[in-house]
């Protein structure tokens, strides 16, 4: 166990062996800025003033050589080898409503959603408390570093954590999940994390845009929004994009929700070139193009959530900036 001291203050917190400086701060209730948790976004950079650390990821995209030369490191990748002194600005908006915790979770069921998306249901002994849209890190045997996956269900007392995960061709973690993990196996689950959660106190209508593995957090947000008393009567538009007709899914989950067809509207989109017999007669194009054609005039007055591949996220961000949507109404976490 190491003690981390915030420079220029009396503030200090403990970091258990194997934990990182950022995650231990969040567990202690501190607002350590972050987003992805996997070394990509750079939001968790801090100055290492004293002490030794081990970096979990060798060459993380979120840290430039210039940062490194200036003594900066990534909080999500920094595991202390001694007591450390750090410099950064804590921000209250990053304080977790539900502090992340590490716990064992058992795989209790799986079910295939499409040819390459499967739902994995885990159960932990403690309650499963999180905000819809957040994610957890799954630590898989033999695979260094946790992998971030968003929950598809909603906060509950039963310790249930459901993840809808797309198999990545050649992917080490999804290869393990799909091919080796068996019902009854236990892994370590660490969470919740993430800032792209449902804003239940917003008076705005909701637009959720998902592609591929982005299905899971958008389903969770829609499930929670459909029953939140503060959001009663809000319109929810759910746009889901896939490359081919066989990638399309999600409707079967949403149509079980109260308000489906009246307040909740599902818009599936196929982006690939038409094939002779794919049978698809719905929207074609990229999800941001279809969202633009359906709701361009309404988007500036909506709360917008999205998740999916980086190219999709960048295209959506650009569209929203071009439409003048206030960035405080736009919610996403970057993983890549």
The residue ranges that bind ligand FES (CB under 6 A) are: 34-37, 39-44, 62, 74, 76
CA distance 121 to 2: 34
Both structure tokens of 27 = 């567990």
* Burial of residue 140, with CB atoms counted within 10 A of its CB: 0-12 exposed, 13-18 middle, 19 or more buried: buried
| Cβ at position 206, least distance to ligand FES in Å | 26
| Cβ at position 75, least distance to ligand FES in Å | 6
Select 173 or 249, whichever has its Cβ closest to ligand FES. Answer: 173
Select 191 or 242, whichever has its Cβ closest to ligand FES. Answer: 191
| Cβ at position 22, least distance to ligand FES in Å | 6
CA distance 277 to 266: 23
Select 34 or 238, whichever has its Cβ closest to ligand FES. Answer: 34
CA distance 231 to 334: 26
| Cβ at position 240, least distance to ligand FES in Å | 26
CA distance readout (Å), 193 to 151, 222, 309: 10, 18, 19
- Structural contact between residues 46 and 80, judged by C-beta atoms closer than 8 angstroms: no
| Cβ at position 76, least distance to ligand FES in Å | 3
Select 62 or 241, whichever has its Cβ closest to ligand FES. Answer: 62
**Residue 131: how many CA atoms within 13 Å on its side-chain side?**
16
Select 19 or 247, whichever has its Cβ closest to ligand FES. Answer: 19
- Structural contact between residues 126 and 103, judged by C-beta atoms closer than 8 angstroms: yes
Both structure tokens of 5 = 């001291």
């Amino acid at each position: 166990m190491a003690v981390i001291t915030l420079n220029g203050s009396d503030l200090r917190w403990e970091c258990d062996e194997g934990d990182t400086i950022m995650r231990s701060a969040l567990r202690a209730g501190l607002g350590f800025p972050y987003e992805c948790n996997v070394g990509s976004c750079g939001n968790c950079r801090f100055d290492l003033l004293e002490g030794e650390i081990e970096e979990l990821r060798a060459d993380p995209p979120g840290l430039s050589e210039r940062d490194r030369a200036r003594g900066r490191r990534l909080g999500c990748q920094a595991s202390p080898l001694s007591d450390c002194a750090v410099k950064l600005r804590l921000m209250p908006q990053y304080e977790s409503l539900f502090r992340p915790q590490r716990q064992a979770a058992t795989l209790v069921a799986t079910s295939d959603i499409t040819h390459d998306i499967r739902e994995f249901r885990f159960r932990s002994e403690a309650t499963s408390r999180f905000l819809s849209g957040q994610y957890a890190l799954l630590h898989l045997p033999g695979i260094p570093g946790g992998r971030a996956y968003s929950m598809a269900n909603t906060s509950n007392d039963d310790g249930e954590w459901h993840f809808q995960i797309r198999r990545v061709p050649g992917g080490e973690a999804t290869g393990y999940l799909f091919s080796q993990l068996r019902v009854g196996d236990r892994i370590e689950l660490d969470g919740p994390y993430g800032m792209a959660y449902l804003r239940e106190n917003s008076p705005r209508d909701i637009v959720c845009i998902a592609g591929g593995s982005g299905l899971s957090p958008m389903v969770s947000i829609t499930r929670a929004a459909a029953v939140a008393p503060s959001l009663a009567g809000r319109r929810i538009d759910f746009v889901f994009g896939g490359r081919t007709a066989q990638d399309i899914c999600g409707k079967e989950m949403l149509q079980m929700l109260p308000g489906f067809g009246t307040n909740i509207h599902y818009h599936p989109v196929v982006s690939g070139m038409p094939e002779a017999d794919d049978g698809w007669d719905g929207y074609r194009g990229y999800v941001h193009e279809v969202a633009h054609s359906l709701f361009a005039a309404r988007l500036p007055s909506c709360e917008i959530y999205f998740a999916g591949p980086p190219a999709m996220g960048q295209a959506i961000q650009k569209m929203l900036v071009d439409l003048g949507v206030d960035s405080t109404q736009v919610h996403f976490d970057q993983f890549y």
